[in-house]
Amino acid sequence: MNQVSEARRAFTAVASGDRVETLMLEGELGEQDLARVCEELTQRLQRGMRQMVVDFSEVGHLDYRGVRPLMARSEAFRRAGGDIKLSGLSPYISAIFRAAGAHDRFEVYPHMNDARAAFALMRAPFV
């Protein structure tokens, strides 16, 4: 991927045996870069991955035109019983998501570990 650091991947096992996968992005992401990120997400969904965190903490800029396809992938994950959560959005990147109409389409967390923990909390039994 152009300036996407071929997505450094981090895996975390959670108590129920489900996995949360983190796709860590960096650099300036153009529309084509985000299209490749969406392809990666689609491939993971097809392989059975249901819980994804996309970390933007090292992203300096992204093309707003690539946000809508990302929203579509998020909907596909939800239809399959999973979700995509975002982490590490700077105020600037958050503004781009807002301008693209995605401000209420994703759960956003300050750090990737917070987003991963949110998946575990979704499965936790209430007492």
Q: For residue 103, name the pLDDT band (cuts at 50, 70, 90).
A: confident
Tens of pLDDT along 47-56? 999 999 999 9
Please give the C-alpha separations between residue 115 and each of 10, 66, 69, 92, in angstroms, as whole numbers: 13, 22, 21, 20
Tell me the pLDDT band of 126, cut-offs 50, 70 and 90: low
Chain centroid to Cα 114, Å, comes to 13
The answer to whether residue 123 scores a pLDDT higher than 80 is no
pLDDT in tens, 75-95: 999 999 999 999 999 999 999
Residue 7 has pLDDT above 50, yes or no: no
Kindly tell me if the per-residue pLDDT of 3 is higher than 90.
no
Predicted local confidence at residue 18, as pLDDT: 65
Phi/psi at 24 (5° precision): -100, 120
- Split at pLDDT 50, 70, 90, the class of 6 is very low
Domains and CATH numbers, the chain: 8-121 (3.30.750.24)
Average pLDDT over all residues of the chain: 85
DSSP 105: T
Residue 6 burial by Cβ neighbours in a 10 Å radius (0-12, 13-18, 19+): exposed
Closest C-alpha to 59, from 37, 84, 83, 81: 37
- Partner residues linked to 109 by β-bridges: 87
Closest CA to 18 of 72, 110, 82: 82
Instruction: Report residue 11 as tokens.
Output: 């895996």
Instruction: Quote the DSSP letter at residue 14.
Output: -
